[in-house]
Amino acid sequence: MERKKHASILRGTRKIHRLMGISLFLFFMIVSLSGILLGWKKNSNGLILPQSYHGTSTNLDNWLSFDSLHIIACNVLHDSVDSNLSLELERIDARPKKGMVKFVFIDHYWGVQIDATTGDLLHIERRHSDFIENIHDGSILDYLFNTKGEILKLIYTSIMGLSLLLFTVTGFWLWCGPKIMRKKTKFHEKNS
């Protein structure tokens, strides 16, 4: 490839890299900071990811029914946090080795840990890690705009993933391209 063409490709690559960096700076910051927080969630001493508490028995034969535990968790949430909160569940997280069942509610990032044997409250938790994860993967947009099928999350993750790929490729070329140009220049000077 001749030197002028090579230099033109480098200038074009630099322009794409710069424009993408400028236009997506805020999004890259959000993804990177939320990614760091999610990486540290298990080592945050309960600040990001709540600690899982232990119930009285790990023997499943001694456990109350999930229906009974769910009713208890809903009552605890309404009595202890806010009686107007939605009781729609995101998931039920059973921990047999800890003798505990965790009920995570979908609309407000609250969770309730219940002793699976006695039905006693072990912990009420604010689920910061779920909120950070929703910011990280873009699903917070579907929540805010009340869209179905996670279409905004899909668009967001596609744009961010393709941008990061393009940012990596252009960055590599900006590092590698000048080295190739210098080698070609030295080769042509030597053979001229």
pLDDT at 189 over 90: no
* Average pLDDT, integer, range 175-191: 79
135 lies in the same domain as 41: yes
Comparing 10 with 76, the larger pLDDT belongs to 76
pLDDT at 180 over 70: yes
- Indicate the residue among 126, 160, 184 that finishes a domain: 126
Domain with 85 in it: 51-126
- Indicate the residue among 102, 126, 150 that finishes a domain: 126
139 lies in the same domain as 152: yes
Q: 125: which 2 tokens?
A: 């938790």
b vs e for 132-150, b when ≥16 Cβ sit within 10 Å of the residue's Cβ? bbbbbbbbbbbeeeeeeeb
pLDDT at 42 over 90: yes
Q: 44: which 2 tokens?
A: 């945050």
What integer best gives the mean pLDDT of the chain?
Answer: 93
- Phi and psi at residue 131, in whole multiples of 5°? -65, -45
* Average pLDDT, integer, range 12-37: 94
105 lies in the same domain as 85: yes
Number of domains in the chain: 2
